[in-house]
Structure 1
Amino acid sequence: MDENEKYSVDALTEDTIRKLEQSGLRMTIQRRHIIEILTSSKCTSPKELWYEAKEYVPDLGIATVYRLINRLEQIGVISKARNLGMQNVEPKLGTLKDKTGNIIKKEGSTQELAALIKQGLMTSGKIKAEENIKLSLVGDKINIQIS
């Protein structure tokens, strides 16, 4: 990680804790403090975050900060944008092409992507028309939650 990286962070929620635990990490006091500082401060680098967190957890190592930032990015809780300021972590519809390479649809919004995925799931019999889907980006994968 670079000193010039900035982070966009979701709030510490039960969903975040669940995602961390599903990825193999327990929610320790150190990790909780780091995430709470990420969500409430304007830290622009792991080193700044480490200095601020050491006030609450004096024996905190900087490697713990780096590992947690990497894991939070992998599970889609934060995103880093090098020299670009804050960025949203949201899946977007890319270009759709047919089998001959002709463009069917250019880039679109998350709602358009969700509608296309829902239509495909309904057509294949996986979901019913009254069910809703929610998309979330986890690393480079799009997770689909049906409700």
Structure 2
Amino acid sequence: MLQQISIFTANQKGALSKITAILEKNNINIYTMLATDSAEFGIVRLITDDAEKSEKALKDAGYQCRLDCIIAVDMASDKPGTLNHILADLNDANVMIRYLYISFDRQTGTPIAVFNTNDSETETFLRGKGYKLLDTL
């Protein structure tokens, strides 16, 4: 299972570049990044080449962050309906998705569905349905 760093940060100008500067300084490569906001704070979700090192560097810089286990499904196709089939299978299995975003395989360009769920059996279920889950991006 992949690990993702979730960072809580002020919703202000330059907040993202401060985070990326810390990662650059520590020679950490970002594979995927999602930033969401509210009125006062934002949540930045990152998958990097070294989750533990990323978390330590960010905490040392004063950020409140945590590691989360996420699931990454190689969608194998960019055809309409591909994501819907994955979501329909998960819905049929009563799996609740907390959040989801799409990334891309850097070499093939195929989409990757990245999501978080509270159901510990989701990986086993998806593999049983024939989906390819990724351990690295």
TM-score for the superposition, normalised by structure 2: 0.27
TM-score for the superposition, normalised by structure 1: 0.26
**Which has the larger helix fraction?**
1
Q: Whose radius of gyration is greater, 1 or 2?
A: 1
Q: Which has the higher contact order (CA 8 A, sep 6+)?
A: 2
